[in-house]
């Protein structure tokens, strides 16, 4: 099954022509990978955060507590299911499915490895590919929020409804920034196909060439997955549990499944678009070509996935939750304008490079110089200190009249009529 010679990449129009049973194997493998990653990540996150906070995590079930998630997965379906009396029962039941199902579909176009020889067939280690595969992933990630919104509405609960509304506003804000961060990748790769974008990064990863796009995507991905510091749809300190407050049993478990599968999905997309996909890290594939061939790509892809999962957990154990106005301000006033300006820079450099036939290294130098100039302008731009000093002096002068109305010092508050009535009633009852 593993060959020493590299297998040529499978063209897009050849996907889906392998036997049905091979496609079924790939589908089952992706589904099993996502389920196992969810079970593993729940325990991994609890133990890692416990280590960060100098306490014990799960340590009862299995060796050193590593079977805790398996115990929870067996327990949840058998717990009592409670449905609110005034809930919309049909939508209430469908919402967890709508939240979880699109997360699985997004992984269908993710390349987990190169093209290999499998049982005598030339097979790509991804379920399928499309000319607009990245747009397919965006569609799936956008559909998942419908489950959260419907869950908040169908529960007929104030806390759940507020959580669903927050998730909708958050998705709109950060989906725009996420989509704009892909434009620079499309300009460089010249394609929206995931397999072709990975092939274009065999020498240099786009995370180095397009660093602002990568940073904006990572921030947007954390917002898309509703993870700390962007977990306002849940916000247990103010909304009890947000959109899934009224859910129990298996339906509650499906929301957990959707969250962790979505984490794997956005991490896989980041790896595909910016971190070379299944290629070996640190340019090892150029030094040792054999580690970039065959099933070795699965190993490198898994290592990068785990690095992103650690990053998600690290954020949860480190950062506090943002306020809602800070969340919106970051999305609309910071990420979107910076992304638009960066797209103009990249498109201008790309147009100049195509006109002058420059090398990729020269393009990287040009982009670096442009970014350096922008940073210098931002850092040394006059900040209006004179206006601030004048405003401070004006504020320091004590005004002649009070800014806010102040009651007179000799104010006498008249007695309350209620006290007189109460005294009269008491006096009558005493005489009686």
Q: How far apart are the C-alpha atoms of 134 and 110, rounded to whole Å?
A: 9
Give the structural domain span for 228. Answer: 19-378
What pLDDT is recorded for position 2?
44
Note whether residue 302 is domain-resident.
yes
Q: How far apart are the C-alpha atoms of 306 and 304, rounded to whole Å?
A: 5
Q: How far apart are the C-alpha atoms of 380 and 395, rounded to whole Å?
A: 27
pLDDT-derived band of residue 431, with 50, 70 and 90 as boundaries?
low
Each residue's pLDDT tens digit, 198-230:
888 888 888 888 888 999 999 988 888 888 888
Query: In sequence order, which residues have a C-beta less than 8 Å from that of residue 244 and are 6 or more positions away?
Result: 151, 160, 163, 234, 252, 255
- Asked if 30 and 107 count as a contact pair (C-beta separation under 8 A), the reply is yes
Q: How far apart are the C-alpha atoms of 121 and 117, rounded to whole Å?
A: 5
- Asked if 139 and 128 count as a contact pair (C-beta separation under 8 A), the reply is no
pLDDT at 47 over 70: yes
Note whether residue 241 is domain-resident.
yes
Joined tokens for residue 273: 């678009």
Per-residue pLDDT averaged across 5-11, rounded?
Answer: 64
Does 1 or 342 have the greater pLDDT score? Answer: 342
Question: Can you name the residues that pair with 121 across neighbouring β-strands?
Answer: 118
Note whether residue 202 is domain-resident.
yes
Note whether residue 8 is domain-resident.
no
Note whether residue 216 is domain-resident.
yes
Q: How many CB atoms lie within 10 A of CB 402?
A: 7
Backbone angles phi, psi at 117, to 5 degrees: -90, 115
Residue matched to tokens 């992933």: 137
Question: How many structural domains is the chain composed of?
Answer: 1
Note whether residue 385 is domain-resident.
no
Q: How far apart are the C-alpha atoms of 130 and 136, rounded to whole Å?
A: 8
Does 368 or 130 have the greater pLDDT score? Answer: 130
Per-residue pLDDT averaged across 401-414, rounded?
Answer: 68
Per-residue pLDDT averaged across 90-96, rounded?
Answer: 87
Q: How far apart are the C-alpha atoms of 69 and 374, rounded to whole Å?
A: 48
Note whether residue 423 is domain-resident.
no
Note whether residue 13 is domain-resident.
no
Supply the pTM of this predicted model.
0.79
Each residue's pLDDT tens digit, 119-151:
777 888 888 888 888 888 888 888 888 888 888
Per-residue pLDDT averaged across 313-319, rounded?
Answer: 88
Average pLDDT, the chain: 81
Report the range of poorest mean pLDDT among 157-166, 226-235, 421-430: 421-430
Does 431 or 341 have the greater pLDDT score? Answer: 341
């Amino acid at each position: 099954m593993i060959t020493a010679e590299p297998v040529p990449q499978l063209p897009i129009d050849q996907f889906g022509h392998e036997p049905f049973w091979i496609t079924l194997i790939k589908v089952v493998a992706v589904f099993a990978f996502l389920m196992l990653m969810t079970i593993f990540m729940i325990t991994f996150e609890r133990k890692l955060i416990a280590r960060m906070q100098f306490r014990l995590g799960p340590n009862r079930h299995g060796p050193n507590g590593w079977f805790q998630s398996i115990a929870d997965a067996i327990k949840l379906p058998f717990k009592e299911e409670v449905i609110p009396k005034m809930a919309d029962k049909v939508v209430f039941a469908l919402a967890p499915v709508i939240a979880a199902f699109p997360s699985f579909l997004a992984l269908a176009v993710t390349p987990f490895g190169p093209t290999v020889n499998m049982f005598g067939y030339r097979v790509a280690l991804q379920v399928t590919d499309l000319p607009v595969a990245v747009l397919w992933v965006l569609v799936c990630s956008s559909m998942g929020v419908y489950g959260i919104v419907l869950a908040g509405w169908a529960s007929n609960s104030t806390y759940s409804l507020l959580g669903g509304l927050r998730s909708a506003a958050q998705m709109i804000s950060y989906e725009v920034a996420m989509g704009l961060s892909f434009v620079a990748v499309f300009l460089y790769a010249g394609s929206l196909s995931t397999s072709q974008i990975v092939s274009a990064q065999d020498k240099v990863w786009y995370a180095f060439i397009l660093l602002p796009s990568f940073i904006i995507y990572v921030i947007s991905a954390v917002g898309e997955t509703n993870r700390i510091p962007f977990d306002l749809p849940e916000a247990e300190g103010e909304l009890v549990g947000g959109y899934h407050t009224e859910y129990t049993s298996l339906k509650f478990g499906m929301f957990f499944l959707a969250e962790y599968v979505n984490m794997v999905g956005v991490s896989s997309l980041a790896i595909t678009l910016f971190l070379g996909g299944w290629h070996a890290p640190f340019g090892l594939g150029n030094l040792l070509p054999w580690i970039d061939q065959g099933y070795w790509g699965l190993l490198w892809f898994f290592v990068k996935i785990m690095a992103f999962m650690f990053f998600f957990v690290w954020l949860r154990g480190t950062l506090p939750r943002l306020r809602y106005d800070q969340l919106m301000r970051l999305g609309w006033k910071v990420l979107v304008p910076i992304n638009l300006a960066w797209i103009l820079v990249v498109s201008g450099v790309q147009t100049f490079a195509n006109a002058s036939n420059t090398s990729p290294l020269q393009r990287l130098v040009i982009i670096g110089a442009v970014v350096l100039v922008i940073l210098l302008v931002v850092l040394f731009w006059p900040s209006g200190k004179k206006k601030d000093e004048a405003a401070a002096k004006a504020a320091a002068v004590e005004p002649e009249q009070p800014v806010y109305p102040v009651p007179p010092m000799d104010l006498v508050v008249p007695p309350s009529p209620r006290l007189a009535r109460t005294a009269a009633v008491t006096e009558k009852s005493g005489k009686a």
